[in-house]
A and B are shown apart, each in its own frame.
Chain A
Amino acid sequence: MDLDDTSLSESGLAATGAATGEERILVIACGALAREILALRDLNGWTHLDLQCLPAKLHLWPDRIPDAIEAAVREARSRYARIFIGYADCGTGGLLAARCAALGVEMMAGPHCYSFFDGNDRFAARGDDEMLAYYLTDFLVRQFDAFVWKPMGLDRHPELRDMIFGNYQRLIYLAQLDDPALDAEAARCAARLGLAYERRLTGYGDLAAALAATADR
């Protein structure tokens, strides 16, 4: 399937409806996770798993995420045996977890995708050591201008850099894929923000186990 990052950011991804079998599962996820979830699906042969993505840009308004998830769950519920939510807390302050519990659907554990890609336990253990770090994932490296540079106004007002990023010291690229081109691009992102650069290959982290627990049940 051809995926377009701009569409994943702006409009998300409609469920393909290609899943087969009686125990069909729908994963409703953030557009920023589409490539990773589809890669895991193909890798594991989960032909009974469908993916629907909400626009990744919902992260700019985290308070809108619970309502958007609920609408998607209610709309799709009758067509699937199970639904799994491919979002962590994502800045909703526990409201998404409460909504998922009320809807009776499971979701990713952890505060955000940086944490579950790194591994929630490992990320929590890093604690204040990485307080001054700004994170990017594969998706965010590819969408750096759309998600960071332009929404923060740095394309029009570079003088805002210190107000927004002045407290950070380094950019850590949490790499899902071992891709030299993305590595080089992430290093460029760090330079543009005036931050030291570090790369950490995480792979799919806790996302792989969480999807497996849902798909293989």
Chain B
Amino acid sequence: MAEDDDEIILSELSDEELVPQMHDDLYDGLRDEVVEGVNILLGRGWTPYDVLTKALVEGMRIVGIDFRDGILFVPEVLLAANSMKAGMAILKPLLAETGAPRLGKMVIGTVKGDIHDIGKNLVSMMMEGAGFEIVDLGINNPADSYLDALEREDADILGMSALLTTTMPYMKVVIDTLKERGLRDHYVVMVGGAPLNEEFSKAIGADAYCRDAAVAVETAKQFMARKHNQLAGAR
């Protein structure tokens, strides 16, 4: 039948065809197909790290660009994220066994008074995919919850998220508390959320405003590279 003729058999695709097909499947939120693709690549001897970065993270990066440009909307991004999460669930234990580069550790959470976590969850997932260790504090976090976790986890980065105009000023409370305790310079502070902007980020004393998950990953990478260079220079 014609329909059967059109059906793509993932296992019959070459690596060069399969990876872009996985990007398409991720884009379309086809969880089962993404999982199948992950297993096929692993079966062909790909390292878990390569599957993660070349198939999943790259696919999600494309989703992020189209979300930013207004081509995709929240539901499509969530479906893509669910597909990526399913693929990552297979890769995570394997990555731990095979050893993947760890770029740094980030404590992340939505600020006090705010229960919105879609953006924060996307950032966590993309940061994890890019090689950061994530400590996700969830929603409605008071300053002490952030500070305790930063110290306990010996983190490099603090990520704060807010969706509401009424809750975003709390980010300044957290940053001011870090300053009061003499800890501000110990951490890179990155902030994000729909009503935020560059001016606000500067005004509250954050290190960076990240308008989306892809920007958060690139920003975090740059800060960590700078930190490593400084440490190398000090030796």
A binds B: yes
Residues in A lying within 8 Å of B, measured CB to CB = 61-62, 89, 91-95, 111-112, 115, 124, 127-128, 131-132, 151-154, 156-157, 160, 163-164, 167-168
Residue pairs across A and B with Cβ atoms less than 8 A apart, 30 shown, are: A61-B70, A91-B165, A91-B194, A91-B195, A92-B165, A93-B165, A93-B168, A93-B196, A93-B197, A94-B165, A94-B200, A115-B166, A124-B166, A127-B113, A128-B113, A128-B140, A131-B113, A131-B114, A132-B115, A151-B73, A152-B74, A152-B75, A153-B74, A154-B75, A156-B75, A157-B75, A160-B78, A163-B82, A164-B78, A167-B139
Determine the main DSSP class of B at the interface with A: loop
A131:B196 contact, CB within 8 angstroms: no
Report the minimum CB–CB distance from A19 to chain B (whole Å): 32
List of B residues within 8 angstroms of A124 by Cβ: 166
A160 lies within 8 A of B168 (CB): no
Asked whether A111 lies within 8 Å of B165 as measured between CB atoms, the reply is yes
B residues 59-92 near A (Cβ < 8 Å) are 70, 73-76, 78-79, 82
Chain A residue with Cβ nearest B112:
A128
The listed residue (A112, A115, A128, A160) touching B75 by CB distance below 8 A is A160
**Alpha-carbon distance A127/B112, docked complex (angstroms):** 11
Q: Knowing that A164-B74, A167-B117 are A-B contacts, what are 12 other residue pairs whose CB atoms are under 8 Å apart, sorted by A's residue number?
A: A91-B165, A91-B194, A93-B195, A93-B196, A93-B197, A111-B164, A112-B165, A153-B75, A153-B78, A157-B75, A160-B79, A163-B118
Count class of interface residues, chain B: 20 to 34
CA–CA, A174 and B118, complex, Å: 25
User: Does B116 lie at the interface of the complex (its beta carbon under 8 Å from any beta carbon of A)?
Assistant: yes
In the assembled complex, the Cα of A142 lies from the Cα of B44 at a distance in Å of 54
Q: Measured between alpha carbons, how far is A168 from B116 in the docked complex, in Å?
A: 9
Contact for B115 among A93, A95, A152, A168, CB less than 8 A = A168
Which single residue of chain B is at the shortest CB-CB distance from A150?
B75
Contact of B200 among A93, A132, A156, A163 (CB under 8 A): A93
B140's closest neighbor in chain A, by CB? A131
Residues of A within 8 A of B196 (CB): 93
Within the complex, the shortest CB–CB distance from A206 to chain B, in Å, comes to 15
- Interface residues in chain B, defined as those with a beta carbon under 8 Å from any beta carbon in chain A: 70, 73-76, 78-79, 82, 112-118, 139-140, 164-166, 168, 194-197, 199-200
- Grouping DSSP codes into helix (H, G, I), strand (E, B) and loop, the A interface class, with mixed when no group exceeds half, is loop
| A-side contacts of B118, CB under 8 Å | 163-164
Measured between C-beta atoms, what is the minimum distance from A99 to chain B in Å? 12
Nearest 9 pairs of A and B residues by beta carbon: A153-B75, A93-B195, A167-B115, A111-B165, A89-B165, A91-B195, A111-B166, A128-B113, A93-B197
The contact of A151 among B74, B82, B139, B168, by CB within 8 Å, is B74
Q: How far is the CA of A89 from the CA of B194 in the complex (A)?
A: 12
Cβ of B75: which chain A residues have Cβ within 8 Å of it? 151-154, 156-157, 160
- Return chain B residues, CB-CB under 8 Å to A152: 74-75
Q: How far is the CA of A93 from the CA of B164 in the complex (A)?
A: 8
B165 touches A153 (CB 8 A): no
Known: A111-B164, A151-B73, A153-B75. A62 touches B115 (CB 8 A): no
Q: Is the CB of A95 within 8 A of B113?
A: no
Asked if B115 contacts A92 (CB within 8 A), the reply is: no
Q: Which residues of A contact B199 (CB under 8 A)?
A: 94
CA gap between A16 and B200 in the complex, in Å: 38
Task: State the CA gap A112–B200 with chains docked (Å).
Answer: 19
Of B70, B73, B78, B196, chain A has the most CB atoms within 10 Å of the CB of B78
Residues on the A chain within 8 Å of B164, using CB: 111
Residues of B within 8 A of A111 (CB): 164-166
B95 to chain A, nearest CB (A): 24
- Residues in B whose Cβ lies below 8 Å from that of A167: 115-117, 139
CB proximity of B60 to chain A, nearest CB, Å? 16
- Alpha-carbon separation in the docked complex, A160 to B164 (Å): 21
Which A residues are in CB contact (< 8 Å) with B139? Answer: 167
Contact of B76 among A62, A153, A163, A168 (CB under 8 A): A153
- Docked Cα-Cα span, A50 to B113, in Å, equals 38
What residue in chain A is nearest B168 (Cβ atoms)? A93
Residue of A nearest to B121 (CB): A163
Report the minimal beta-carbon distance from B174 to chain A, rounded to whole angstroms. 16
